[in-house]
């Protein structure tokens, strides 16, 4: 199981939003690349980066910051505003290892199929759910599409990785929605990265146990709990290594 420490960028700074609300912002660092360097020093191989300005604007807004993060030497998984082929091309050209498509995945299966044909496993789809329904456009719009239904369609298109975020738990430090994550894992063959709610090391241990039952659980994204120092990244990486054994 892979631990994906998260960096959310807004106005060029490292921030966290509570349940995706722009008016519930906490700034944790002025230089996101320095945060990425710390993650690398602690042993992480990946970093999950979200361009929040891009998610709200519909196109990437912080690519210079993303480039600086990629230069640190971590594998970068990037989401936020990647809604055109040109935007995806630019992101991958900066050294991003995997792009995350959210809003456009709910709007156009043809777009996702095109990206999968062009980039294969470098393309992931982010499915953000509120009460089981897909939310888009930086979580400000809720569709009538069920999260599991969208996941099955993406799986059918050959998407290798899905990132499933339970909005109700994101940034709340209340623990992940394990039932929702297990339902997603059993619905698809694609790898699934869990996101939302991790508040303590026991939450990651519970996901590691779930990974023993559902082998397609690829990993977990951890954000606010790291910044609030409720968990330590090197400890979580140790839990993930133990699970693999």
**Catalytic residue positions?**
8, 128
Of the candidates 89, 98, 35, the one whose C-alpha atom is nearest the C-alpha of residue 65 is 35
Q: Is 188 within 8 Å of 213 (Cβ atoms)?
A: no
Phi-psi region at 177: left, alpha or beta (left = phi > 0; alpha = psi -120 to 50): beta
Of the candidates 186, 192, 140, 200, the one whose C-alpha atom is nearest the C-alpha of residue 165 is 192
How far is Cα 59 from Cα 64, in angstroms, rounded to an integer?
A: 14
Residue 65 corresponds to which tokens in the numbers above?
């910051």
For 96, 102, 198, 240, the CA distances from 167, given in Å and listed in that order, are: 25, 14, 12, 24
Close Cβ partners of 156 (under 8 Å, ≥ 6 residues apart)? none
Q: How many Cα neighbours within 13 Å face the side chain of 202?
A: 3
Residue 238: exposed, middle, or buried by beta-carbon count in 10 A (0-12, 13-18, 19+)? middle
Close Cβ partners of 139 (under 8 Å, ≥ 6 residues apart)? 19, 20, 55, 128, 130, 167
């Amino acid at each position: 199981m892979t631990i994906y420490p998260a960096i959310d960028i807004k106005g060029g700074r490292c921030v966290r939003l509570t349940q995706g609300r722009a008016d519930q912002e906490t700034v944790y660092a002025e230089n996101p690349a320095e945060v990425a360097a710390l993650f690398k020093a602690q042993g992480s191989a990946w970093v999950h980066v979200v361009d929040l300005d891009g998610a709200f604007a519909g196109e990437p807004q912080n690519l210079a910051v993303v480039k600086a993060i990629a230069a640190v030497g971590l594998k970068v998984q990037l989401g936020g505003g990647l809604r055109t082929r040109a935007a995806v091309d630019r992101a991958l050209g900066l050294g991003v290892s995997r792009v995350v498509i959210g809003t456009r995945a709910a709007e156009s299966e043809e777009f996702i199929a095109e990206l999968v044909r062009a980039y294969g496993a470098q393309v992931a789809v982010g499915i953000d759910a509120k009460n089981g329904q897909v939310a888009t456009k930086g979580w400000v719009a809720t569709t009538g599409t069920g999260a599991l239904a969208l996941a099955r369609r993406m799986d059918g298109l050959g998407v290798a990785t899905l990132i499933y975020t339970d909005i109700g738990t994101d940034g709340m430090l209340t623990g992940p929605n394990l039932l929702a994550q297990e339902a997603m894992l059993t619905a698809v063959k694609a790898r699934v990265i869990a996101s939302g709610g991790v508040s303590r090391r026991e939450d990651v241990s519970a996901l590691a146990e779930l990974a023993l039952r559902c082998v397609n659980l690829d990993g977990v994204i951890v954000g606010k709990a790291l910044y609030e120092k409720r968990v330590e990244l090197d400890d979580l990486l140790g839990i993930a290594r133990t699970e693999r054994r």
